[in-house]
Structure 1
Amino acid sequence: MIQRVPFLNTFYDNLTAQQTLEIIKNAIYTKQQIHHTVINANKVVLLQKDLELRNSVNSADIINIDGAGVLWGAKILGKPVKERVTGIDLMEAVLKMAQKENFKVYFLGAKEEIVKTLVDLYSEKYGENIISGYQNGYFNNQNEPEIVNIIAQSNPQILFVAMPSPKKENFLYKYRKDFSDINFIMGVGGSFDVLAGKVSRAPVWLQKMGMEWFYRLIQEPKKMWKRYLIGNLSFIYLILNSKIKK
């Protein structure tokens, strides 16, 4: 049974990466649907006021801790955490599983050249048989129903959606019933950019220190400064305020 832990108006599921992967695999074989999401410091700050995002996140079947800040905050508040499960690492593990188990994957999001590069890379690495289809993330609200129908008709078992928050969370929540035959649906943020080689990921030693955010900030300061500097300060305030009230 999944242990769901309350955390600053949201939750996280106290699971290891391996436990998460086993739940996903079982859902695919039993033809159930798992709507997966992650939380990080920025997302926790956003959902304090964004009630649509809060509902989209809290309605997911699995909520993993992606950000090191949430890991730190949970420890400060004395809440149990087995393991940090980053979205990008889980995505790669699911892709390996897809090859082994002959599951099909659909990739939605990012720019056309990014998603095409990613699909080419994984077609070469794992074989074309795991690719159900792909679509860039540059479409408007009027095109959404058509895109959703194309994805559903391609019959994947797995759907990865690379869009920023709160767009990806709300998109997956809104269309989860249209994707009822897709067994695992997951928002992966900027993972396509990293895995396609457009943005480099922090070295492992920085990841272990919980400083991956700083590495990203250095690479894209104009895009990330508000999220990481202002957002992180807001998150620290939420943690300390909650600690004082306990």
Structure 2
Amino acid sequence: MNKQARKSFLFVEFDQFEPDRLRGELLERAPGKGFRYIVTPNVDHVINLRFNPRWEIIHQAYAHAAYVQNDSKILTVLARTMGLALPAYPGSDLTRDIFESMDKDAKVLIIGGDAGAPDKLKALFKLNHIDQHLPPFGLFNDPAARQMCVEKAIARDYDYIFIAVGSPQGELIAYQIHQASPPGGVALCTGASIDFLTGQARRAPVIFQKLAMEWAYRLMMEPKRLWRRYILGLPKILLLYLVWARHSIFGGSAAPRP
């Protein structure tokens, strides 16, 4: 597990790796590293970790993650107001960079995603070994299906496992793979990042990315599905920021979760 000191922000313990260093850590294949997995919390994840009882089990997944990397430039801006440096490395960028940098003979497993993803990724990045497991929907409430994901992940000595089934089930599966103690490999909870790479989904234009407004683009593209997350999430993240700021400045025990 990563031993560097983490910084608490909004009651989540974050690593503070700059992108180049994190990428180097994930690409390192030295013997004895053991299995490692990374979680990439964004604003929605931080809100759910604090307010959503279903996410209580995910705290264990975060506690055992080798890397907890900020995914959101909005969190970077909020942290800066409290004098904290919290570099953002969006999961979509991280996933692309790992595919671009990995050895061409690396053994890769994708859990979830589109059925055509392996062939597209092989062609895009000139890779030789990509397997895929397509689990059913409803993984969070389906222990047997999650266990099948774990068995597929440990069946071969994979170098990289991309878990593309969304949150919080992706983090839960990564934690369960960790519990199975495979000898090595790196797992990444990638969300829709694979779909962006293969063209199955469209990522926000660069101008939205630079302005930390990818959430606004996604809301415009899928208002019916995402309006609750972004519109109702705004007062929650502001409340959480105020509670954490008070806790950080004045100390005392953390405010209880609803």
**TM-score higher than 0.5:** yes
Q: Percent identity?
A: 23
Secondary structure at the residue paired with 1:85? coil
Residue among 112, 133, 136 paired with 2:134: 136
Matched, 1:79 2:81: no
Instruction: Give how far 1:240 is off.
Output: 2.6
CA contact (8 A) 1:159 1:182 kept: no
Alignment of structure 1 residues 57-68 onto 2, 5 Å: 57-68=62-73
Amino acid of the structure 1 residue aligned with 2:89: V
Q: 1:128 to 1:25 in 2, by over 3 A?
A: closer
- TM-score normalised over the length of structure 1: 0.88
Q: Structure 2: how far apart are the matches of 1:35 and 1:76?
A: 30
CA contact (8 A) 1:109 1:136 kept: yes
Q: 1:99 to 1:232 in 2, by over 3 A?
A: farther
Residue among 98, 102, 110 paired with 2:102: 98
Q: Structure 1: how far apart are the matches of 2:166 and 2:121?
A: 22
Secondary structure at the residue paired with 2:13? strand
Secondary structure at the residue paired with 1:89? helix
Q: Structure 1: how far apart are the matches of 2:47 and 2:79?
A: 14
- 1:161 corresponds in structure 2 to 163
Residue among 189, 192, 197 paired with 1:190: 192
Number of residue equivalences: 238
Matched, 1:55 2:57: no
- 2:124 corresponds in structure 1 to 125
Once the two structures are superposed, residues 183-207 of structure 1 have per-residue CA deviations (whole angstroms, 9 ceiling, x without a partner) of 2011111222222323211111111
* Bigger helix share: 1
- 2:148 corresponds in structure 1 to 146
Q: Unpaired segments of 5 or more residues in structure 2? A: 250-258
Q: Structure 1: how far apart are the matches of 2:148 and 2:165?
A: 18
Out of 12-21 and 232-241, give the one that drifted further: 232-241
Instruction: Give how far 1:158 is off.
Output: 0.6
Instruction: Give how far 1:230 is off.
Output: 1.0
Instruction: Give how far 1:117 is off.
Output: 2.3
Instruction: Give how far 1:21 is off.
Output: 1.2
Give the RMSD, CA atoms, in angstroms. Answer: 1.9
Q: Structure 1: how far apart are the matches of 2:195 and 2:181?
A: 24
CA contact (8 A) 2:38 2:188 kept: yes
CA contact (8 A) 1:160 1:187 kept: yes
Q: Unpaired segments of 5 or more residues in structure 1? A: none
CA contact (8 A) 1:41 1:232 kept: no
Q: Structure 1: how far apart are the matches of 2:127 and 2:16?
A: 34
Instruction: Give how far 1:47 is off.
Output: 0.6
Amino acid of the structure 2 residue aligned with 1:61: A
Instruction: Give how far 1:210 is off.
Output: 0.6
Q: Structure 2: how far apart are the matches of 1:95 and 1:217?
A: 28
CA contact (8 A) 2:146 2:173 kept: no
Q: Structure 2: how far apart are the matches of 1:35 and 1:135?
A: 18
Instruction: Give how far 1:34 is off.
Output: 1.8
Instruction: Give how far 1:22 is off.
Output: 1.2
Q: 1:150 to 1:203 in 2, by over 3 A?
A: same
CA contact (8 A) 2:111 2:149 kept: no
Secondary structure at the residue paired with 1:99? coil
CA contact (8 A) 2:27 2:102 kept: no
- 2:74 corresponds in structure 1 to 69
Instruction: Give how far 1:74 is off.
Output: 1.0
Residue among 77, 87, 92 paired with 1:88: 92
